[in-house]
Amino acid sequence: MLKGVTLRNMGPQSMPETIARCAALAEDADLDSLWITDHIAIPPDDAEGSGGRYLDPLITLAWIAASTNRIKLGTGVLILPYRSALPTAKQVATLQELAGERLLLGVGIGWMDAEFRALGLDRHTRGQTSDEVLELLNRCFAADGVENAAVDRDQKDVVEANGQAFLFKPKPAKPPIYVGGSAPHALKRAVRYGDGWLPMGLSPERLAADIETYQKLTEAAGKPPGLVTIMRGLPLDDAVQSRDLLAQYEEIGVERFVCGIPYATADEFSARIAQLNRIIE
Average pLDDT for 193-198: 98
pLDDT tens-digit readout, 96-130: 999 999 999 999 999 999 999 999 999 999 999 99
Backbone angles phi, psi at 45, to 5 degrees: -90, 10
Average pLDDT for 186-197: 98
SS3 label, residue 262: coil
Task: Report the interhelical angle of 57-67 vs 16-28 (nearest 10°).
Answer: 60
Q: Are 92 and 56 in contact (CB under 8 A)?
A: no
Is residue 162 pLDDT above 60, yes or no? yes
Q: Domain residues of the chain, as ranges?
A: 2-178+200-212+230-280
Distance, CA of 265 to CA of 13 (rounded, Å): 7
**pLDDT, position 146:** 53
Burial 113-146 (b: 16+ CB within 10 A, else e): eebbeebeeebeebbebbeebbebbbbbbeeebb
Start-to-end Cα distance in the chain: 12
How high does pLDDT run on average in the chain? 94
Is residue 272 pLDDT above 50, yes or no? yes
**Positive or negative CA dihedral for 164, 98, 35, 242?**
positive
pLDDT tens-digit readout, 231-260: 999 999 999 999 999 999 999 999 999 999
**pLDDT, position 149:** 46
Q: Which of 3-17, 92-106, 139-153, 184-198 shows the lowest mean pLDDT across its residues?
A: 139-153
Q: How far is CA 230 from CA 7, 25, 75, 199, 206, in A?
A: 15, 21, 13, 5, 12
**pLDDT, position 281:** 81
Beta 158-161 vs 164-167: how paired, if at all?
Answer: antiparallel
Contacts 24+ apart (CB under 8 A), 120-128: 121/81, 121/82, 125/81, 126/80, 126/81, 127/185, 127/189
Bigger pLDDT: 19 vs 45: 19
Bigger pLDDT: 88 vs 148: 88
Average pLDDT for 155-184: 95
Write down the CATH superfamily of domain 2-178+200-212+230-280. Answer: Luciferase-like domain (3.20.20.30)
Q: Are 18 and 274 in contact (CB under 8 A)?
A: no
**pLDDT, position 156:** 82
pLDDT tens-digit readout, 199-211: 999 999 999 999 9
Burial 50-78 (b: 16+ CB within 10 A, else e): beeebbbbbebbbebbeebeebbbbbbbb
